[in-house]
Structure 1
Amino acid sequence: MSARFTLHTPGHSAYTDTLMMYALAHAANGQLKQVSGKGLFYALEIEGLELEELASRISGIFRRNVERLNTEFTRLLSEKDLKKAESVLEDVELLTKYLGELVEPGHAIREGRAGKGESFKLPLMPTAGKYYRVDLTVSKKYQAREYAVCSFCSALAMLGLALGSQALRRGATFLVSTIKFSGEVDGDSILNLSDYFLNLSDAGRELLEASKACLDKIPGRLIGYLLLGGLDDRLISAMEASNASWNVLTTRFEVVRVVQVRGYYSVELDPAIATLADLIKMDEKLKSNYREKFNTLCKELLRACSVEALERLFDFMSTRNVEKIYEFARVAYTDLRRVRASFSASELIEILTQLCTGA
């Protein structure tokens, strides 16, 4: 294999392939030039790297992230699952052969509900439940037909869970989110996103920690917006300037004896990204810190469990409809006063209102 090639994720699902994309991107590192999101799969352009070296990197990266998977995703994945995946990826020769198959798109065609292999775990593909829907006017029951994949797809998606997602947990409830895109994004931006998942910024950590207090009440789509709020200014600006559209995928899992999917959400981020990018530009122009105040407001609302106010706030961020600001202000004032919060949102609201008019 030449030192310049394109790898395609298999095409199992948007969620699964996004995880696998982050795993491959992280391993390619500085040799990753560009990633193209093409709906259900991604194409990664890699230069200056041999497939054998990429396979060796993947194997080593998995070993270094077993502890993270054990800690962050405990109960979603068993120790047996992790040991099997680690063993699979240790065979660099077979892993290299698998990567060679990804040079051409369509690997998933040979797998799925009609294929052979191991069952895909729900945390790696939330739509992979074992019951396959049939026409109940013909058949009297649902058929048990699990989604089967090769062991390399399973292991690579597991690595992507560590490198390209963020998990929130409270009791038996887990919310797992990842950021997907369609279009073209430069390699550095993808690596920065992966770094964010691995090493949350202070702002991101504080937002997500604050959300745990009312995790059972927060709609899945709000978690996606909060994840976006934790990204640094440079990454927000790069996402806004890219030739791509962005979504966050969030799955709500509940673990009671077995892993169950309780919700799956896809939220378009482009409008909110554009509003945050404009807020960043305003900060640069005015030498202000409204972006920081925005995150502080979100944290105060989370501590007050003011879910309705947060929904109104992000409705505004996504629409720039000034009426949404008034709705937000009414609810937020009541809830912040109830918990005697010291933060005043009036100045920030005034600035956000200016974004509606372009002032």
Structure 2
Amino acid sequence: MKKSLAAFMGVMVTASMVLAGCGDEASSGDGIKIVAAHNQTSPENPYQDGLLKFKEVAEEESDGAIEVEVHAGTIGTEESELVEKLKLGGADVVLVSPGFMTATGIDEVDLLALPYLFDSYEHWESVVDGEVGEELASIINEKSNNDFKIIGYWSAGVRHYYGKKPIESIDDLSGMSIRTQTSGVVADYWKSLGAVPSSVAWGELYQALQQNVVDSSENSYPYFVQQNHHQTPNGKYTTETAHDYTTRLLLVNGNKYDAMTDEQKEILMQAAEASVETEREAVFAQEEEYKQIALDDGAEINEIDRQPFIDIADPMNEAAAKDMGVEELLQKINDLK
């Protein structure tokens, strides 16, 4: 993983230097402040670990000339808020999901949200740290007019179903409301399984599960267990569907990046690479840790034959990739399995 990640970051640094050559650079002695934010409020969240590592490396390597202010859900608990703040200059580095990039007109990035696109963490890393990750980064930067620049791919774990009853077969999802995206390929997939996608803000989901507003949700262990969703009546049963090895995009405001000196850019990318490694390691460790916490708290977990779910996803993924104009990228991803 570290070899492919280092190669990806090296390409990003080189490309960034070339693209930024005509930008207005700050003088080498100038200090800068970077506002970095994610939408999770838990202090034990892997996102927080990653951004704190970003802060540590940036400040140490710059001898304090780069100051990083980390916000954990304090300037936005919805990713749409963070994207807007990044565009308008209220934040300089944010963490968001591919789905929220599509709302800005960059449909291609929704490729990473396709269900059952990845079959292991190793497969996921070979994709995002390789040629596909580089191509998507270029697309995002170009189509956003430099508002968004990817400086790293983070993980949000492996997402599973959890709800008021376990899933033994696809038929068990018929008519069940599930908190997930309500538009796009993710919503279409859950609809094809018979479920009813429902929009509930993350900060309101515990109450929604507790009060029977929604029947179920889907997420990875570190995220839903930290929020005690497994202790609600409609979150007690987890079925390990593993339908999404989740990608999160670490973005910097491209215009602010271009105004930095070459030295500041290099430090920023060093900090980004360190944050990627730290965040992923935290996610991998917390997957098992929080699964065990859920079991200790009385949650019930079952496995399921995933092949029927995959068989439904594959043709939908091919159609979605065609609509996005990324058929070649989908083929590259499949070739890496």
In which range does the TM-score fall when normalised by the shorter chain?
A: under 0.3
TM-score under structure 1 normalisation?
0.25
Relative CO higher for 1 or 2, CA cutoff 8 Å, sep ≥ 6?
Answer: 2
Q: TM-score scaled by structure 2?
A: 0.26
Looking at CA atoms only, which structure, 1 or 2, has the larger radius of gyration? 1
